[in-house]
Structure 1
Amino acid sequence: MPPLTKTLLTRRTLVSIAAIAFLVHARALGAGLVFDDRGAILENPVVQGDLDLGALFGTDFWGRPPGEGPGTWRPLVVLSFWLDKHLFGDSFHVTNVLMHAGTTVLFALALARRTGRERLAIVAALAFGVLGIGTEAVAGVVGRADVMAAGLGFLSWLLWSEREGEPVEPRRMAGAALAFAGALASKESAIVLPLLFLLADVLLAPAGKPVRIAWKRYVPLLGAGAAVLGLRALFFGSLLGVTRDVQANPLVGEGFAVRLWTSLRLFGMALQRIVAPVNLSADYSYAAILPDRSPFALGVLLGAVALGAVVAAAIVLRRKEPVLSLAAVTLLVPWLVMSQVVFALPTIFAERLLYLPAAGLAIAIGRLGEWALERRAGAMPPAGGKKKGKGAAAAAAAEVAPIPADRWRMAALVVGPLLVGNAVLTWGREAAWRSERTLFAAAIETTPSSARAWNNYGTALLNERQAADAIGPLERAITILPTWSEPHAQLGVALLEAGRPVAAEEHFRKAVQLDPELAKAVFNLSVYLARQQRYAEAAEVLRPFVAKFPGRAREAALLRQIEADLASGGGKR
């Protein structure tokens, strides 16, 4: 990008934007590796072992081969985990917060280049950096997938956008395509970015002129997307396929109409959490959100009204306020992937998925701040973002002209409470991510009907050697979803440590009966039987599992030990 002779986006401004985004999220530096971080990092053999490019591209986000996990393929994020682990001293949370700060700067640069309105971009970036909904992607290390996809997406937009009269630069187009490929290799939802770029071109086209789309500029982006999907198919065996289960997404197996009604309610939930990020939860699995089977349910109707209002804003404001129209589209386009209408996701709802859609709210706040900073009270830029004056020089001069003190006071009065309020909510929410117990103590307050929230809270107590206290939460999880294996497996451990071996064995066996392929269930029952010297029974439980999953080193080692004990004549007859 050629340097600007007059600009508000100086190095000092960009550093300040990054510093504010970093400091507001600094409490996340003390967070633990909790919830999904455990599976994606601590239990991921690709992250924990030596660098293996074959495994990096040939396994999913959790280090599992095709068919054994959810099927989410994000090799660039897994590589970043590996670098954190082996080169940067387990700096997972530091990297997350730094990436968020960098993404905020890229958002400012991309928005300024595409709109030509730097005040808008600065205020929007400040808002994006502190939005409370961002905590779920920044504090949880697995949320890095959302942060990286957004950051690389903004970089692609920055390189891809053209200023009026500029020639198309092949190097910029190549860089934009490479950044888009990185975004797609970070998270599958980035596939909608070219659509967002296209709609931005349409919405921000000069008023009164026909919209002309240079379609050839999209070819590198589409080629990069096809290349990433081809790599996924080559190394992982599928284009976009993922595995789903009812425990994480109750919409599995439901028809289109039920998914549509539920999607409307989910949109209302998403919009509420973006605008007012209070009572957030780490989990919304069964039965926190159940399918809606009627279009007349209150949540469905409210969601439909909210969706209709955002769509109407995108259409009605197209001429008079194209930036606000862009804000609505930025919220809507990423929602297409997570709406559950096109296809069911591995999870029914997660707040970290709202990291990129929240940029739409940030743009709207940026427009409000831009209005407050106008030199003349009530001044509004004309449609299309062009300021009145004698050409581009006058527009640039107006953009960087000194801002009177009364305008600063107006901006502080209008935008300040929104930024400060979100910063306070962000700081408070990130305290919950300190440990597994604190995270799910908060979750059971917000989503008390979530089986996984109760299971994870009970498991956290169990890990802190509070077995007696863990029994109640684990039993609550089983009451909500009796057919889920994991809480039975964990309850068995809690009961055993509480001195109730008969009840413990009952739940160990129930866990294996419900899911004989759940490693935790098989391992817990086998260890219990082996400790009672019932080696033949333990081997009978382990053999089919190890035969099907020979790569599971822990279970294979246990089976070898049990078989050695059997061969030596040990065990109860």
Structure 2
Amino acid sequence: MATSKAAPSGFSLLLVAASAFLGHARALQAGFVFDDRGAIQENPVVQGGLDLGALLGTDFWGRPPGEGPGTWRPLVVFSFWLNEQLGGFHTTNLVLHVATSVVLALALARHTGRTTFAVLAAMVFGVLGVHTEAVAGLVGRADVMAAGLAWLAWYAAGRADEPESPRKLAGAALAFAGALASKESAIVFPLFLVLADRTLSPPGRAPRIVSARYGSLVAAAGVVIALRSMAFAPPLSAVMREVQANPLLAEGMGTRLWTSLRLFGMALGKIVLPVGLSADYSYAAILPEHSPFAWPVLAGALALVGLVVAAIRLRLREPLLALAAVMVLVPWIVTSQLPFVLPTIFAERLLYLPAAGFALVIARLGEWALERTPGALVPAERATKKGKKRAAQKRREEADPARLRSLVLVLAPVMLGNAALAWDRTADWENERTLFASAIEVVSRSARAHHNYGSALLNEGKAAAAIAPFEEACEILPTWAEPHAQLGVALLEAGRPREAEEHFRKAVELDPASPKAVFNLAVFFAREGRLEEARSTLAPFVERHPKRSREAELLKQIEATLRAPQRP
């Protein structure tokens, strides 16, 4: 593979930035929806003053160990806190996506030596429609920051054939530590670097596994994990997950494997053709696969094996395509549900990193179109003459209309198509109602999609309209407490208190530890004048969860009312 060590020009990087910005500019109109509320608007760390102890000692949602899914991402939470002080939540998300695309161009150019390929890949990556959730959804910032910092670490590490230096090692380690502090999935970056080095290096020239190049990254990971363990909790401990979000929690390894293969095929489909996107895939949108012979499982297995074979067989003949396969496969290890079960069974934001592999494939096709255009000149990097003749030849090639037409024919359908799909899809992120109305169209058997759509209607004062989606959620997953708690509110506001009480009680029966269920039942009793029942509902919960200020305050008010002398 002929290479050049030239970096992308400023104009080229501007093209990358413009593509990423314009492709997802509509994200600036998105609202605070879905998980954005819990991670930002209801997060005491984000809403309070800067508290380093709270920042490091709570999870992504501002909860202490044992009360949440255990996702520790202090760098992202700190960025949310800054936005809370200065504003610009969605602007920051978009700028971070633009910056990540630019860093990808720089890293690819440095490691492949092919600036045209690097710029084309980054331009395609920037407009991919599958990125809408990561860019428009504020919680997707974790995926964007982790990817950007991982690629920054790749850039800082330098090429495998370049001399190592303390500056390179420190820069790569620091960027990788930032990626890990943004999202746990970045832990696979050292493996990616090892495979990328072996893919792009001549046979026998890749660095040894035991070397400072990789050892510095392992050390950085150790520091981050130690900090997390001291300030918060060890990885994989103090984790709360729900079957309604990931039904694989109750399944064995065989079922997880078959389901993982299905999810892999589904992920590739969403990356290549980003249609039918949804903000939610929880119970029962995707159910566990119990047979290896189901066609989605077989299709996913075929795709997975094909990519692995491609990465091995193409390493010498087409290393850029082999690198594309590595970019898909390595991030998938974390999201495959095999090493451990994630809090959610599937989410489009998890595809932010793997989608780069598809962008590399399109960029390589663009290069082929340039190289194989009939009548085109020999590429400049293969010319034998030097100096002014070589520079002039290169300029003539770049301006050759036939070559440019071939490039446009490859890139235009992918980039314009994805930009159009992203623009259309991002409109759904305007508010909760539009987001989950579209989700129900795609995943009609998702209990959470119906529940969240009902909650959006309830928040808009449309209690009567909210009853049906809540009932649908209860029917899909009868053991989930929250839809019953919300259905009780809708029924109460619709003037049906007896039915409301039934669902309030059912919610507490299903999950006595649910703050929403307990609070809603207690408020109902208080409004009905049944203060003793309200106190007996709240007291055990507050005793078990003394840090829940809302419930504790309501209990104090109820007890004060009970102690007050009754007027004749």
Could you tell me the TM-score, scaled by structure 2's length? 0.95
The within-5 A match list for 1:518-533 is: 518-533=514-529
1:565 and 1:571 in contact (8 A); partners too: no
Counterpart AA for 1:139: A
CA–CA separation in structure 1 for the residues paired with 2:396 and 2:545:
67
Equivalent runs, 1:258-273 vs 2, <5 Å: 258-273=255-270
Aligned equivalents of 1:198, 1:240: Cα separation in 2 = 25
Of the candidates 551, 567, 570, which is equivalent to residue 547 of structure 2? 551
Q: Percent same amino acid at aligned positions?
A: 62
Partner in structure 2 of residue 233 of structure 1: 229
- Tell me the distance in 1 between the aligned counterparts of 2:514 and 2:567: 25
Cα deviations by residue, 1:515-550 (Å, 9 ceiling, x for unpaired): 111111111111111111211111111112112222
1:448 and 2:444 correspond: yes
- In the alignment, which residue of structure 2 is the partner of 1:469? 465
Cα distance in 1, alignment partners of residues 523 and 386 from structure 2: 75
Task: Map 1:73-222; keep pairs closer than 5 Å.
Answer: 73-86=72-85, 88-89=86-87, 91-162=88-159, 164=161, 166-206=162-202, 209-213=204-208, 215-222=211-218
Between stretches 490-499 and 389-398, larger displacement belongs to 389-398
Distance 2:45 2:390 in 1: 50
CA contact (8 A) 1:152 1:179 kept: yes
Change in Cα spacing, 1:318 to 1:519, as seen in structure 2 (3 Å) is: same
Question: Counterparts of 1:396 and 1:105 in 2: how far apart (Å)?
Answer: 28
- Distance in 1 (CA, whole Å) between partners of 2:489 and 2:562 is 25
Aligned residue identity for 1:16? L
Residue in structure 1 matched with residue 24 of structure 2 by the alignment: 25
Cross-structure match for 2:530: 534
Within the candidate set 358, 362, 366, 1:361 is matched to 358
Q: Are the equivalent residues in 2 in contact too, given 1:287–1:449 (CA < 8 A)?
A: yes
Structure 2 distance, partners of 1:140, 1:234, is 30
Alignment check: 8 A CA contact 2:107 2:155 kept: yes
Seen in structure 2, the aligned counterparts of structure 1 residues 390 and 68 have a Cα distance that, compared at 3 Å, is same
Paired with 1:381 and 1:288, the residues of 2 have a C-alpha distance of 52
**Could you tell me which residue of structure 1 aligns to residue 347 of structure 2?**
350
Residue range with higher mean Cα deviation, 395-404 or 349-358:
395-404
- 8 Å CA contact 1:230–1:239 kept in 2: the answer is no
CA distance in 1, matches of 2:424, 2:71: 31
Q: 1:161 to 1:505 in 2, by over 3 A?
A: same
- Helix, strand or coil for the counterpart of 1:373? helix
User: Is the CA contact (8 Å cut-off) linking 1:536 and 1:571 kept in structure 2?
Assistant: no
Note the alpha carbon deviations across 1:277-318, whole angstroms, 9 max, x for none. Answer: 000000011111111111111111111111122112112211
Alpha-carbon separation, structure 1, partners of 2:541 and 2:394:
66
Distance 2:184 2:80 in 1: 18
Do structure 1's residue 434 and structure 2's residue 434 form an aligned pair? Answer: no
Per the alignment, residue 512 of structure 1 pairs with 508
The change in CA–CA distance for 1:104 and 1:159 in structure 2 (over 3 A counts) is same
Deviation at 1:453, TM superposition (A): 0.3
CA distance in 2, matches of 1:387, 1:517: 66
Deviation sequence 1:157-198 (CA, Å, 0-9, x none): 00002274x422211210110000000000000000111111
The number of aligned residues is 562
Structure 1 residues 571 and 13: CA distance shift in structure 2, 3 A: farther
CA distance in 1, matches of 2:292, 2:389: 49
**Structure 2 partner of 1:418:** 414
Cα 1:378–1:154 change in 2 (3 A) is: farther
312, 316, 320: which one aligns with 2:313: 316
| Letter in structure 1 aligned against 2:416 | V
Equivalent in the alignment of 1:223: 219
1:459 to 2:455 alignment: yes
From 337, 340, 344, the counterpart of 1:340: 337
Aligned residue number for residue 287 of structure 2:
290
- AA matched with 1:468: A
Displacement, 1:394? 11
- Contact 2:7-2:110 at 8 Å conserved across structures: no
Equivalent pair of 1:533/1:571 in contact (CA under 8 Å)? no
Greater Cα offset, 313-322 or 61-70 = 313-322
Structure 1: how far apart are the matches of 2:503 and 2:111? 59
Partner of 2:483: 487
Q: Are residues 378 and 436 of structure 1, via their aligned partners in 2, closer, same or farther at CA, if it must alter by over 3 Å?
A: farther
Bigger shift: residues 507-516 or 15-24: 15-24
The Cα of 1:136 is off from its aligned counterpart by: 1.0
Distance (whole Å) between structure 2 residues aligned to residue 257 and residue 437 of structure 1: 38
Q: Distance in 2 between matches of 1:58 and 1:395?
A: 62
Q: What amino acid is aligned across from residue 111 of structure 1 in structure 2?
A: L
Please report how far the alpha carbon of residue 8 of structure 1 lies from its aligned counterpart in structure 2 after TM superposition: 6.5
Query: For 2:304, which of 295, 303, 307 is the aligned residue?
Result: 307
Contact 2:383 2:390 in 1 (8 A): no
For structure 2, the residue ranges without an aligned partner over 5 or more in a row are none
What letter corresponds to residue 552 of structure 2 in structure 1? A
Distance 2:408 2:207 in 1: 39
Matched, 1:277 2:278: no
1:499 aligns to 2:491 (yes or no): no
C-alpha contact (below 8 Å) 2:160/2:201 kept by paired residues: no
CA drift of 1:402 comes to 4.5
Tell whether the 8 Å contact from 2:463 to 2:490 is kept in structure 1 after alignment. Answer: yes
- Distance in 2, matches of 1:393 and 1:540, equals 88
SS state at 1:341 partner: coil
Write the distance in 1 (CA, Å) between the matches of 2:282 and 2:555: 33
CA contact (8 A) 1:44 1:63 kept: yes
Match for 1:31: what amino acid? A
Aligned CA-pair RMSD: 2.4
Question: Does the residue aligned with 2:540 lie in a helix, a strand or coil?
Answer: helix
| Alpha-carbon spacing, 1:504–1:159, altered in 2? closer, same or farther (3 Å) | same
Provide the residue aligned with 1:374 in structure 2. Answer: 371
Contact 2:20 2:101 in 1 (8 A): yes
Change (3 A) 1:378 1:401: closer
Q: 1:381 to 1:535 in 2, by over 3 A?
A: farther
Which residue of the partner structure matches residue 56 of structure 1? Answer: 55
Does the aligned pair in 2 maintain the 1:454–1:476 contact within 8 Å? yes
Q: 1: CA distance between counterparts of 2:554 and 2:150?
A: 46
User: In structure 1, the residue corresponding to 2:250 is in which secondary structure?
Assistant: coil
Contact 1:262–1:292 (CA under 8 A) maintained in structure 2: yes
Task: After TM superposition, give the deviation of residue 216 of structure 1 in Å.
Answer: 2.1
Give TM-score scaled by structure 1 length. Answer: 0.94
CA distance in 2, matches of 1:41, 1:554: 18
C-alpha distance in 1, partners of 2:250/2:68?
18
Distance 2:452 2:178 in 1: 33
Q: Is the 8 A contact 1:59 1:66 kept in 2?
A: yes
Q: CA offset at residue 551 of structure 1?
A: 1.6
Q: 1:336 to 1:108 in 2, by over 3 A?
A: same
Report the Cα offset of residue 330 of structure 1: 0.3
